[in-house]
A = this chain, B = another copy of it.
Amino acid sequence: MSEKRTELEQLGEFGLIDHLTEKFENKQSSTSTGIGDDSAVISHSKDESMLISTDMLIEGVHFNLMYMPLKHLGYKAIAVNVSDICAMNGVAEQITVSIAVSSRFPVEALEELYDGIRAACDTFNVDLVGGDTTSSLSGLMISVTAVGRAKNDVITYRSGAKEHDLLVATGDLGGAYVGLQLLEREKQVFEANAAIQPDLDGHDYILQRQLKPEARIDVIKFLKELDVVPTSMIDISDGLASEIFHICKSSDVGCKIYDEKIPIDTETSMTAIDFNLNPITCALNGGEDYELLFTISQDDFEKIKGNPHMTVIGHITDKAAGKYLIDKQGAAIELQAQGWNHFEE
C-alpha cells in the first residue's frame, strides 16, 4: 500500500465510485450500459434487455432496528431495488438476497425479515431466486440484486432529457424524511425514559413512507398504458435536488423547478413545521421517498395531464441557464445537491 492516505469522505460516495471504477473497460458486447445509471443494461437481442441493479443495507448506517421492525426492513430492501428497475422504465422479475447476520439474531428474527421479503415479492411480483446467508461479527447486512426486463425502445436513461422537456415527479415527497425525524425523536425520548410510550398517533402516512416505501411499479404500467416513454428517468432515493442534479449532469442540461408545484402531503407539511423544518427543504433534500422523477416531451403533456400520480414540477433548460428553484415570489434560488454522503454520517 502506498504511504499516501486519502480519507473516504474527501471523495464522497459518488466521487469514490467514479474514482474506483474509472480504469475499468467493458469487453462484452452484451454490456450495453454499465456503471452510472439506476441499473446496468445487458442486451442479448435487438428487442429487449435485462436490467441489473444492486443495493446494500447496513445496520447502523441505513437502518436502526430500534424503530425499524425486521419485517419492514425486509420489505424495504426489496422495494428500493425494484425501484431502481422502475427507474429504467423496466419490470423487475427476480431478486437475490444475501444476508450477513451476527449470532445475536435468533432464527425467529430472520423469519420476520423473510416474511417482509416475501410480502414485497408478492406485492412487486418478483421471484426470490438466490442469495447467500452467512455470519457477521456484528449486526445485520442485506445485499439485494434485482433483475428486470424492458423492451429496448422504452428503456429510459438519466441522459435523455432535452431543453423544454417537462420535469415530472410521482406521488409526494419529503414524507419519508419527516417520518424519520419523528422516529428519531421518539427514540431519544425512549432512551431518556423507557417508561414513556412512543407518541406516533396521527402520523401513519409519514411513518409508512419511512418504514414501508413502495416501488412505483404502478407508474411504469401507467406510462405504458398512456403510451408515454419518458426522455429521462431516475428514482428519488437521495432527495429531489440530488436526483435533479444527476439527470442534468447526465443529460448536459439545466432546469427550473417551482416550489409551489412540488407535491407534498399535508401530514408531511404539518409535521415538518412542528419540527421547525421547511417542507420544501424536506422534499428537496430528504430522500428515501422512492418516487420517480422523469422528463417528458411537451408533446406528451396532454397524456399525463390530470393524472393524480404525476405532477409537473418544472422544465428542462439549456445547461448554461443553470439549475434553479423558483419560489412563490418569483425569486430564483440556485439548487444545491445535498443528497446523502454516507461517508460523512
Contact = CB atoms under 8 A, between A and B. Distances in A.
A131 interface: yes
A98 to B, nearest CB: 4
Q: A interface, by DSSP: helix, strand, loop or mixed?
A: mixed
A6 B108 contact: yes
A98 B53 CA distance: 11
Interface in A176-197: none
B133 A28 contact: no
A138 interface: yes
Interface in A1-42: 1-2, 4-11, 13, 16-17, 19-21, 23-24, 26-28, 30-31, 33-35, 39-40, 42
A281 interface: no
B147 A106 contact: no
A59 to B, nearest CB: 8
Nearest to A138: B138
Contacts of A6: 106-108
Nearest to A99: B56
B20 A133 contact: yes
Nearest to A106: B5
B98 A56 contact: yes
A19 B107 contact: yes
14 contacts: A2-B108, A5-B106, A6-B108, A16-B110, A28-B127, A30-B94, A40-B129, A42-B93, A53-B130, A55-B98, A56-B99, A58-B100, A61-B134, A137-B139
Closest 9 CB pairs of A and B: A40-B129, A143-B143, A6-B107, A34-B129, A5-B106, A56-B98, A31-B127, A26-B127, A145-B145
Interface of A: 1-2, 4-11, 13, 16-17, 19-21, 23-24, 26-28, 30-31, 33-35, 39-40, 42, 44-45, 48, 50, 52-56, 58-62, 70, 93-94, 96, 98-101, 103, 105-112, 114, 118, 121, 125-139, 141, 143, 145, 147, 149, 342-343, 345
